[in-house]
Amino acid sequence: MKEKKLKYTLISTASVFCFLLIWYLIADVFKVFPSSTFPSPFKVATAFVRKLTVTTPDGGTLGKHLIASLKVVLLGYLLGIVIGVPLGILMGWYRRVDLIVKPLFDLIRPIPPVGWIPLMILWLGIGIQAKATVIFVSAVTPAIINAYTGIKQTNPVHIWVARTFGASNFETLLKVGIPSALPMIFAGLKVSLGASWMALVAAEMLASTEGLGYMIQMNRMVGKADNIMVGMITIGLVGALLTYILETLEKKLVKGGRNK
Amino acid sequence: MISCKHVSKTFENNGQKNEVLKDISLEVAENEFVVILGPGQCGKTTLVNIMAGLDHETAGSVTVNGKQVDGPAPERGVVYQKTALFPWLTVEGNVGFGPKMAGLPKKERKEKAKHYIDLVGLSGFEKSYPIKLSGGMRQRVGIARAYCNNPSVLLMDEPFGHLDAQTRYLMQEEVERIWSQDKRTVVFITNNIEEALYLADRIILLSNCPTTVRNEFKIDLPRPRDYISPEFLKLREEISKHVETTE
Amino acid sequence: MKKKFQNSKTETVVYFICSLVGLLIVWQLAVSFTSLQKVMPSPFVVLGFIGQSLTQKIGGKILPLHILASLKRVFVGYFLACIIGIPLGILMGCSKTGKAIVKPIFELLRPIPGLAWIPLAILWFGIGETSKYFIICVSAIVSIILNAYAGASQVDQTLVGAARMLGAKPAQIFLYITLPASVPQIFAGLQVGLSSSWMAVIAAEMIRANEGAGWIITTGMESGNTVQILAGMISIGLVGLLLASLLRLIERGLCSWNIQGR
Amino acid sequence: MSKVEVNHLTKSFGSLKVLDDISFQVNDGDFLCIVGPTGCGKTTFLNSLVKLYDIDDGEILINGEEVDLNKHSIAYIMQEYSTMSWLTVKENIQFGMKVRKFSKEKLNRKTEEVLKMVGLEKFADYYPEQLSASMLQRVSIARAFAVEPDLLLMDEPYGQLDLELRFRLEDELIRIWQETKTTIVFITHNIEEAVYMSQRIMVLTNKPTKVKEDFVNPLPLPRNVTEEKFIEMRNKVTNLIKWW
């Protein structure tokens, strides 16, 4: 078995290398496209280093934009899950809450978060509140859905056992409902993160004075593809990093081998 | 018909050797109903997979009708504990799957399937999907599907392990009835002594891990047998003394 | 408490209507009595506007034609994502070498959100339809590939063993076992892909377009016309809901073997 | 250590009557086995006994008072594995005691006691997914006895186990019952198991479920399955049910 694994890791590294090689060949060797619209990996790398310190053409270094984006996305995301998860749990457990809140939620859910941007900008301007609200809307929906489904999937046998020991309805929710829904809740947190990151990019591209979305949009205006790619790679990396943090958190909290 | 000579099997995962089967030799004659009785989970399914050709023994040899077994072949049919029915095929589709793979024309396949669906008493359910059938009915489809490929040997790996007790008794009677109507060589695996006693011409008792053959019991009670007849209970008591418990 | 309605289906429908009516009333009250009225039109004005715009043109086209333009873009981009994504996902699920080649590159590109491709798409393909198809395809393809891969790689091995025992050859196993077994998971991917496509087309149209649902709400924003924005949002929501239930109907038809029910 | 009285218990799901005017008593420290054909509403019967299902008519008294899950200490062991996968064996066992708010000292003492009782001391920190079927059932039994229940309800707890394991757990249960003198209501479809363990046997009919027969099991403990009198008692019960 050991040499099989080695063979596949070799193939993987080879394929990534070919991907970069082909990219380089098209960009620099054969010059199929002008290098401003299709820069080679090396150009992107140099642009990356340069962008760390230089503020042209979008009025900010990569670090400044990154921090601006992180501030907005974390504000909206945390608000979204702090409200979304408990609401999903209550909707899943208490029938009355389910009957009242769920229809309202189903009314608003189909509107994609991006659709809220114009309304938010009109009401709240292009400052941090508008973007944070849009991100909140995109984060809250998956959090509610996954918490709701997680609670609904609680094993009735466990509920019976708790009730016969004399646990009240609320105590059963705390001791049985939430622990058994934890894996689904974490899945929801990951989906919310993806949705928030997506909404952030859209909001910043549409109306903003800073942030990674704004940066790639400005660089598009001046036609500097290398900076756009730098922005995209950063967005991808930071998104992957945040997801990685969530996964390690999940490994600690979800016990009983249920998060395999 | 089937003969295993000194079959043993050791699994190796990341350096750790785990011997599951140790020097198993057994013979199964033509149209004989042999039950392999063994405690818990250790080794029985591996032995079935080796006989079926899905797995390879690390030592010894397994021959069916004199030919060495080296891969799955339609001459050996398998009935699984979890029935392993194809959820996207109807009962008819499942039973007729073997002939379809062999390239039989549609009309002939339908007839063959119909015959075996009636044999297991499921006529009228041809068009329903497995998800809508009860545990017992799904097992019947599994048996019909194995029979429909007209195997000379039928390997049944704890087919009633997941059924509730009452269905289990009914299914044991069903297998008895089907087998008497359409005799095949059967190797039936179970951990339930009553089931073994009710069905077997001969019981081969396996030990705990690593599995070897402990002893054999020739059962010549008249068929169909009665679970609560005194001889049945005495035999059961005697055999259960030899069975090691698993913990 | 004794259940008033025996059948829970009617119960949820009744509660849905109650909350819809409740929402409209609260909205109307808020608009007519509080300071919200400066910024928010009453629901009936918005609904009236939607009714009106079924015949009257907004920027050269009536509302349904705008929606149609968006739907056309969605279907081209989504269709592309399906043709490329599903085979790629199944390839990754079935063959180890295929997975070793494709998966690392896929993992590199996956974290980049679909909308982040918009500037590059506009640079590469201009502001016409092609760049919108590209964005929609990129936004939808990730979940389609992921779910097709999950479906193909998690086929129950006992089923494969059973098929081999019945004499099925490797090619037959792929055709008669792997594909049907992964259909439900593929549909899960299609469902997520469809909602991402619908979001992507709205975003693309908001950045640069001269027609379509996204265009309606952006021009509404630019001219400060909240009625148009709200009308646009409601129609986007309704069409999104319609698309999702349409796909669910198709799935119910194709995967009837997977549905519990009596 | 309590007396259970059930008078005219009736329950129906919509129009389908499931339990039809059932009345019986279980004295303190009794071991009552309830037998009946599959699908004769045994589980509904148990759940109604502890008000998990609301009942149409009749009353259920424990030591003279209407049954109330907070006042009365009742433990319930089911056929499906009811151990909670996110808790270790020890935490599972302490679940009941924590709900009933045992003092810290009593909690630890009882945990050690029941762990030893079912022989799972070595597995205290394991997670359920690492244990075999019979060990999981032992955890449920330990959890039930830990709260020193007034009444212990068991719904075919050994239905899934191998024969020899079932013999062992049955003997173990009888030993624990003799030590703790808990009142036990044990439901099973397996007549041999009922005759082997019970002080009293109650036979239920098919739906709508009525009490067909309720008699004392005179056989002295420990019993032997192949004894003449045992087989005779077993045949008597079998004829009463005749589903087989």
Each residue's pLDDT tens digit, C11-28: 778 877 888 888 888 888
Q: What is the pLDDT of residue C11?
A: 76
In the stretch 174-213 of chain D, residues with CB closer than 8 A to chain A read none
Binning pLDDT at 50, 70 and 90, where does residue B244 land?
low
Binning pLDDT at 50, 70 and 90, where does residue D39 land?
low
- Segment (H or E) for D7: strand D4-13
How are beta strands D200-204 and D31-35 bridged, if at all?
parallel
With CB atoms and an 8 Å threshold, state whether B84 touches C176.
no
Strands ordered across the beta sheet of D16-26: D16-26, D4-13, D57-62, D65-66
Average pLDDT over residues B18-25: 84
Binning pLDDT at 50, 70 and 90, where does residue B65 land?
confident
Residue A211 CA to residue A209 CA, distance in Å, equals 7
B208 has a chain D CB within 8 A of its CB: no
Q: What is the pLDDT of residue C262?
A: 42
D3 neighbors D63 (Cβ within 8 angstroms): yes
Q: The tokens of A211 are what?
A: 């942030």
CB contact burial C74-107 (16+ within 10 A = b; e otherwise): bbbbbebbbeebbebbbbbbbeeeebbbbbbebe
Statement: residue B205 has pLDDT above 80? yes
Q: Which of A164, A179, A256 lies closest to D74 in CB terms?
A: A164
**Min Cα–Cα distance to chain B from C137, Å:** 30
Given the candidates 3.40.1790.10, 1.10.240.10, 3.40.50.2300, 1.10.3720.10, the CATH classification of the domain at A39-253 is: 1.10.3720.10
D76 has a chain A CB within 8 A of its CB: yes
With CB atoms and an 8 Å threshold, state whether D162 touches B40.
yes
Q: What is the pLDDT of residue A139?
A: 94
Residues of chain A positioned with their CB less than 8 A from the CB of C109: 236
Residues of chain D positioned with their CB less than 8 A from the CB of A256: 84-87, 127-129
What angle in degrees, to the nearest 10, is found between the helix axes of A128-152 and A178-206?
150
**Tokens 């292009």, located at residue:** A126
Peptide bond into B105 cis (omega under 30): no
Torsion sign over Cα C7, C9, C15, C21: negative
Peptide bond into C104 cis (omega under 30): no
In the 8-state DSSP scheme, what is residue A223? T
Contacts (Cβ under 8 Å, ≥6 apart) of C13: none
Q: Give the chains touching A; criterion: ≥3 Cβ pairs < 8 Å.
A: C, D
With CB atoms and an 8 Å threshold, state whether A158 touches D82.
yes
Residue A50 CA to residue C99 CA, distance in Å, equals 36
**Min Cα–Cα distance to chain B from C93, Å:** 19
Residues of chain D positioned with their CB less than 8 A from the CB of B230: 226, 231
Task: Write the CATH number of the domain with boundaries B2-75+154-242.
Answer: 3.40.50.300
Contacts (Cβ under 8 Å, ≥6 apart) of C132: C73, C77, C121, C201, C204, C205, C209
Statement: residue C4 has pLDDT above 50? no
Mutate to test the interface with A, among D46, D83, D85 (most CBs of A within 10 A): D85
D127 has a chain A CB within 8 A of its CB: yes
Q: Which of A160, A162, A257 lies closest to D127 in CB terms?
A: A257
Residues of chain C positioned with their CB less than 8 A from the CB of B54: 161, 164-165
D69 neighbors A163 (Cβ within 8 angstroms): yes
Q: Which of A188-192, B129-133, B227-231, D21-25 has the lowest mean pLDDT?
A: B227-231
3-state secondary structure B186-197: EEEEECCHHHHH
Query: Taking the CB of residue A107, how many other CB atoms lie within 10 A of it?
Result: 16
Task: Output C137 or A122, whichever has higher pLDDT.
Answer: C137
Residue D183 CA to residue C43 CA, distance in Å, equals 65
All structural domains of chain C with their residue ranges: 1-40, 42-258
The residue of chain D with its CA nearest to that of B233 is D226
Contacts (Cβ under 8 Å, ≥6 apart) of D180: D145, D148
B39 has a chain D CB within 8 A of its CB: yes
Average pLDDT over residues B68-76: 85
**Min Cα–Cα distance to chain A from C101, Å:** 5
D146 has a chain A CB within 8 A of its CB: no
Q: Which of A119-123, A231-235, D132-136, D158-162 has the lowest mean pLDDT?
A: D158-162
Residues of chain D positioned with their CB less than 8 A from the CB of A163: 52, 69
**Min Cα–Cα distance to chain B from C110, Å:** 32
What angle in degrees, to the nearest 10, is found between the helix axes of C63-94 and C179-207?
140
Peptide bond into B224 cis (omega under 30): yes
Q: C42-258, which class in CATH? A: mainly alpha
Chain B and chain D share a number of CB contacts under 8 A equal to 50
**Min Cα–Cα distance to chain A from D81, Å:** 8
**Min Cα–Cα distance to chain D from B36, Å:** 15
Q: The tokens of B184 are what?
A: 């095949």
Q: The tokens of C240 are what?
A: 């999104």
A214 neighbors A220 (Cβ within 8 angstroms): no
Binning pLDDT at 50, 70 and 90, where does residue D244 land?
very low
* β-bridge mates for residue C75, sequence order: none
How are beta strands B202-206 and B33-37 bridged, if at all?
parallel
Average pLDDT over residues A245-254: 90
Q: What is the pLDDT of residue A177?
A: 92
Q: What percent of chain B has pLDDT over 90?
A: 19
Closest CA to C194 of C146, C132, C135, C247: C247
Q: Give the CA distances from residue C53 to residues B57, C49, C64, C192, C219, in Å, rounded to whole numbers and listed in that order.
A: 75, 6, 8, 30, 15
Q: Which of B39, B192, B233 lies closest to D231 in CB terms?
A: B233
* β-bridge mates for residue B206, sequence order: B213
All structural domains of chain A with their residue ranges: 1-32, 39-253
User: Cα angle vertex B204, ends B47, B188, to 5°?
Assistant: 60
With CB atoms and an 8 Å threshold, state whether A160 touches D69.
no
In the stretch 56-115 of chain B, residues with CB closer than 8 A to chain D read none
* β-bridge mates for residue B10, sequence order: B19
Statement: residue D112 has pLDDT above 60? yes
With CB atoms and an 8 Å threshold, state whether A164 touches D128.
no
Statement: residue B37 has pLDDT above 50? yes
**Tokens 């193909």, located at residue:** C152
With CB atoms and an 8 Å threshold, state whether A180 touches D84.
yes
B131 has a chain D CB within 8 A of its CB: no
How are beta strands B185-190 and B16-28 bridged, if at all?
unpaired
Q: The tokens of B36 are what?
A: 């392999």
CB contact burial D57-83 (16+ within 10 A = b; e otherwise): ebebebeeeebebeebbbbbbbbebbb
Q: Which of C195, C221, C237 lies closest to A118 in CB terms?
A: C221
Closest CA to B227 of B176, B190, B159: B176
Q: Give the chains touching D; criterion: ≥3 Cβ pairs < 8 Å.
A: A, B
Return mean pLDDT, chain D. Answer: 84
Q: What is the pLDDT of residue C261?
A: 52
Residues of chain D positioned with their CB less than 8 A from the CB of A162: 95, 99
Each residue's pLDDT tens digit, A85-98: 999 999 999 988 88
**Min Cα–Cα distance to chain B from D159, Å:** 7
Longest dimension (CA), chain D: 51
Q: What is the pLDDT of residue A183?
A: 92
In the 8-state DSSP scheme, what is residue C4? S
Q: What is the pLDDT of residue C1?
A: 37
Q: Give the chains touching C; criterion: ≥3 Cβ pairs < 8 Å.
A: A, B
Each residue's pLDDT tens digit, C174-188: 999 999 999 999 999
With CB atoms and an 8 Å threshold, state whether C207 touches A206.
yes
Average pLDDT over residues B161-176: 82
**Min Cα–Cα distance to chain B from C205, Å:** 41
Closest CA to D61 of D191, D129, D186, D150: D150
D191 neighbors D238 (Cβ within 8 angstroms): yes
**Min Cα–Cα distance to chain B from D188, Å:** 10
Q: Which of B82, B97, B130 lies closest to C166 in CB terms?
A: B97
B193 has a chain D CB within 8 A of its CB: yes
CB contact burial B12-50 (16+ within 10 A = b; e otherwise): eeeeeeeebbbebebebeeebbbbbbbbbebbbbbbbbb
> In chain B, where does DSSP find H-type helix?
44-52, 91-95, 97-102, 106-119, 135-148, 165-181, 193-199, 230-242
Q: Which of B90, B98, B129 lies closest to C166 in CB terms?
A: B98
**Min Cα–Cα distance to chain D from A196, Å:** 30
How are beta strands B16-28 and B2-13 bridged, if at all?
antiparallel
Q: Which of C159, C164, C166 lies closest to B54 in CB terms?
A: C164
Mutate to test the interface with B, among C156, C157, C166, C179 (most CBs of B within 10 A): C166
**Min Cα–Cα distance to chain A from C37, Å:** 12
With CB atoms and an 8 Å threshold, state whether D162 touches B191.
yes
pTM of the model: 0.83
Each residue's pLDDT tens digit, B126-158: 999 998 888 889 999 999 999 888 888 999 988
Average pLDDT over residues B91-120: 91
Strands ordered across the beta sheet of B185-190: B76-79, B153-157, B185-190, B33-37, B202-206, B213-218
**Tokens 């907004």, located at residue:** C58
Return mean pLDDT, chain A. Answer: 88
Burial class from Cβ neighbours inside 10 Å (0-12, 13-18, 19+) for residue A30 reads exposed
